């Protein structure tokens, strides 16, 4: 490890950045340096701009990747090297406004029914039942399940924040059956190697495999299950503020986006097409039409 990389890691630890953030920042600064074949402390604003153009036009990088690259370079140049131009001359890409993928309750049931492995079923049911991020569900410990208070403790979630979420009675029943078989000691969902929890990559692989087996057209991920958790709560009448607390969102505006995909919001008003008067001829044509294709 170079002294420069070590210094950057120390700067991130001093600021209490999460392990995942540290790993991403180091990786993207290293890729930036590899692109030019130089140490990053020898590169400047014009090189950063050239790299951003490369990522956008040649690599077709997503907004998420571009955003992490900007955050990593800004931190490196401003915090580690003390360059004041790091904020002004490293522009942040405009965030895409996309609606989350939401599964219906039937689709969630179908997905979970096709999870044959008990451990994987417990993980994915926990993710949906509590609305957890993938990083949160894989790092749960046995002690985080509080069956007395019917709560799950989420320790140091996104933003280094602890929170509690509800513990579903149905989930508790499954977790007890899972514990009797696996007998986890520390991590609730241990990985292949001793002392480690199951990896995020492994769960992503399981989601892809199960989604294909279930024949679902939507791309099912742990994030999609989390989105579905929030939307289904909203449709059931839960308060947006309550959902914000359960999800661990910093801003209520972030949680409010689920109102855009909630059936109770979108379908609460009839389309003006349904308000048009139907003629007798149109009604007869409808009755004599062939069976619907969908």
pLDDT of residue 168: 94
Query: Cβ contacts of residue 167 below 8 Å, gap of 6+?
Result: 130, 145, 146, 147, 149, 150, 151, 152
Exposure string (b/e) for 159-185, b if CB count within 10 Å is 16 or more? eeeebebebbeebeebbeebeeeeebe
* pLDDT tens-digit readout, 233-252: 888 888 888 888 888 887 87
Termini Cα distance of the chain: 59
Q: What is the SS3 assignment for 100?
A: coil
pLDDT of residue 236: 87
Asked if the model's pLDDT at residue 208 lies above 90, the reply is: yes
For the ranges 9-13, 112-116, 154-158, the lowest mean pLDDT is seen at 154-158
Fold of 3-88: DNA polymerase; domain 1 (1.10.150)
- Residue 195, CB-side half-sphere exposure with 13 Å CA sphere: 0
| pLDDT tens sequence across 71-94 | 999 999 999 999 988 888 888 887
- The domain defined by 105-265 folds into hpI Integrase; Chain A (1.10.443)
Give the three-state DSSP class for 31.
helix
Residue range(s) occupied by CATH 1.10.150.130 in the chain: 3-88
Q: Is the pTM of this model over 0.75?
A: no
pLDDT at 273: 73
| Pairing label, strands 151-157, 161-166 | antiparallel
Residues of the chain with CATH 1.10.443.10: 105-265
Res 248: pLDDT: 87
The pLDDT, as a whole number, for residue 40 is 95
Element counts in the chain: helices (H) and strands (E): 15, 3
> Which run of H or of E encompasses 52?
helix 45-57
Q: To which H or E segment does residue 38 belong?
A: none
pLDDT at 287 over 90: no
3-state helix, strand, coil in the chain (%, to 5): 60, 5, 35
Q: Is the pLDDT of residue 49 over 90?
A: yes
Q: Residues 118-161: pLDDT tens digits?
A: 999 999 999 999 999 999 999 999 999 999 999 999 987 776 78
Give the span between the Cα atoms of 187 and 119, in whole angstroms: 12
In 158-239 the beta strands, taken as DSSP E runs, fall at 161-166
Confidence of residue 1 (pLDDT cuts 50, 70, 90): confident
The Cα angle at residue 196 between residues 192 and 202, in degrees rounded to 5: 55
């Amino acid at each position: 490890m170079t002294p420069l990389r070590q210094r950057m890691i120390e700067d991130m630890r001093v600021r209490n950045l999460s392990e995942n953030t540290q790993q991403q920042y180091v990786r993207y600064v290293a890729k930036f340096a590899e692109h030019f074949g130089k140490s990053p402390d020898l590169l400047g604003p014009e090189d950063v701009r050239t790299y951003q153009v490369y990522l956008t036009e040649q690599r077709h990088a997503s907004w998420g990747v571009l955003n992490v690259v900007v955050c990593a370079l800004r931190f490196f140049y401003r915090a580690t090297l003390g360059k004041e131009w790091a904020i002004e001359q490293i522009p942040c890409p405009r965030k895409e406004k996309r609606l989350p993928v939401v599964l219906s309750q039937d689709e969630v049931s179908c997905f979970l029914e096709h999870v044959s492995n008990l451990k994987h079923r417990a993980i994915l049911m926990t993710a949906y039942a509590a609305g957890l991020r993938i990083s949160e569900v894989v790092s749960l410990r046995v002690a985080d399940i509080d069956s007395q208070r019917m709560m799950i403790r989420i320790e140091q979630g996104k933003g280094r924040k602890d929170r509690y979420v509800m513990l579903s009675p149905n989930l508790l029943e499954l977790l007890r059956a899972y514990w009797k078989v696996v007998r986890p000691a520390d991590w609730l969902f241990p990985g292949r190697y001793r002392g480690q929890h199951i990896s995020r990559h492994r769960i992503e692989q399981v989601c892809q495999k199960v989604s294909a087996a279930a024949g679902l057209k939507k791309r099912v991920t742990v994030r999609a299950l989390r989105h579905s958790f929030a939307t289904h709560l909203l449709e059931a009448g839960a308060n947006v503020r309550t959902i914000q607390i359960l999800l661990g969102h910093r801003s209520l505006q972030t949680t409010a986006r689920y109102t855009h995909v909630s059936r109770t919001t979108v379908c609460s008003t009839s389309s003006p097409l349904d308000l048009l008067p139907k003629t007798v001829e149109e009604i007869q044509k409808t009755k004599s039409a062939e069976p619907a294709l969908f």
